[in-house]
Amino acid sequence: GAVVSQHPSWVICKSGTSVKIECRSLDFQATTMFWYRQFPKQSLMLMATSNEGSKATYEQGVEKDKFLINHASLTLSTLTVTSAHPEDSSFYICSARDPGQNSPLHFGNGTRLTVT
């Protein structure tokens, strides 16, 4: 089945630094990927839609200059949290859809970001 790989699975960084999270579709090409953030005991919140070869579409309230998304190829999207602060500590998850008919979303295993 379709697999989405996310890396790293966890990262600890100091306040003010930037962190990059990678999301890869391993056995299919994903023209669109989605990035989510999840706080403890809460649901997934869609942050942005990443489109291959074009700018990402951000949800209302998500700072595009803080959460930089690059989708340079059909199998890779990256999310960079710039100038991270403790309040950015969260669980970040990416997903993609195999372009096959009726295909559901496939999710990465998430990245636990802790900003100290």
Partner 1 sequence: LAKTTQPISMDSYEGQEVNITCSHNNIATNDYITWYQQFPSQGPRFIIQGYKTKVTNEVASLFIPADRKSSTLSLPRVSLSDTAVYYCLVGDEGGYNDMRFGAGTRLTVKP
- Angstrom distance (rounded) from CA 5 to CA 22: 8
Smaller CB separation from partner 1, 51 or 80: 51
Using CB under 8 A, pick the residue from 7, 13, 20, 44 that binds partner 1.
44
Verify binding: residue 52, partner 1, rule CB under 8 A: no
Smaller CB separation from partner 1, 26 or 83: 26
| CB atoms near residue 50 (< 10 Å) | 26
Burial of 32 (0-12, 13-18, 19+ CB in 10 A): middle
Beta carbon of residue 30, minimum distance to partner 1 (angstroms, whole number): 12
3-state secondary structure of 66: coil
3-state percent breakdown (helix, strand, coil) of the chain, nearest 5? 5, 50, 45
Verify binding: residue 71, partner 1, rule CB under 8 A: no
Binding residues (CB under 8 A) for partner 1: these are 4, 6, 32, 34, 36, 43-46, 49, 91, 93, 95, 97, 99, 101-110, 112
